[in-house]
Amino acid sequence: MAAVTSLSLAACSADTPEESQYQSQVVSADYAGDFTAATPESQPTEEQSTAAADNAPSAEAAQSTTAVSTSAATPETAEESQPTEEQSATVADSAPSAEAAQSTTAVSTSAATPETAEGSQPESLPEDGTYSSRDDVALYIHTYGHLPGNFITKKEARELGWSGGSVEEYAPGKCIGGDHFGNYEGLLPEKSGRSYTECDIDTLGSSGRGAKRIIFSNDGLIYYTDDHYASFTLLYGEE
């Protein structure tokens, strides 16, 4: 009995280190296998990781998408905030340039100048004034339709004793003018109902009558001659 017990103890004693080591290795292997087997369940597989990478865009791709979206939106915003070419053309047509405005003003001013001048003529040439020069007498006739008051006819001068030449001795401050001009040479245009009147020019206070005359019609024609009716220059009116 003691021998059997001793043998059994010896066998247990002999088996224990190896079996313990073996069992420890088996247990460790089993535990490692269990841990390894459990690990894939808690972490995604390579295919899952690849799918996740494909489905989730990177930060760089997201930034690129944002930049593209912003760039794509910018032209639309610019188109909305800026007028189209047709709108710009319409505005340009409806609003005249500074250069066109200035041109219109210049034309209007030029067109108004003669009227303004004519309107101011009665003030610059008072109707009761004394005039003898070509320009003053022609303007006076054009403005008032008759000769200035310092002109007297040949008949009126003869009544004062005048017989020819200067009228200054008989009527100081007066000039010969207001007599009918016959146009016998036919140098001036004729028209039914038209008649001409003549007057001396630049004879105020002079010693003679000279060769200068103004011939004017009853319908607005005013001529000047400085060669005693040999030639005429039209100053006012249309033939």
pTM of the predicted protein model: 0.51
**Which sequence spans correspond to the domains of the chain?**
139-181+191-236
Query: Is 198 noted as a catalytic residue in this protein?
Result: yes
Query: Is 142 noted as a catalytic residue in this protein?
Result: no
CATH number of this structure's domain 139-181+191-236, picked from the four choices 3.40.50.300, 3.40.640.10, 3.30.1490.100, 3.10.450.30: 3.10.450.30
Q: What is the mean pLDDT of the chain?
A: 69
* Residue 212 confidence (pLDDT) above 90: yes
| Residue in 46, 190, 198, 239 annotated catalytic | 198
> 3-state class of 198 per DSSP?
strand
Task: Give the model confidence (pLDDT) of 122-158 as tens digits.
Answer: 457 999 999 999 999 999 999 999 999 999 999 999 9
* Residue 202 confidence (pLDDT) above 90: yes
| Residue in 118, 127, 146, 228 annotated catalytic | 228
Return the higher-pLDDT residue of 129 and 22. Answer: 129
Task: Give the model confidence (pLDDT) of 182-194 as tens digits.
Answer: 999 999 999 999 9
Report the distance separating Cα 187 and Cα 199, nearest Å.
Answer: 17
* Residue 25 confidence (pLDDT) above 90: no
Report the distance separating Cα 176 and Cα 95, nearest Å.
Answer: 61
Q: What is the rounded average pLDDT of the residues 195-215?
A: 96
Give the CA radius of gyration of the chain. 63
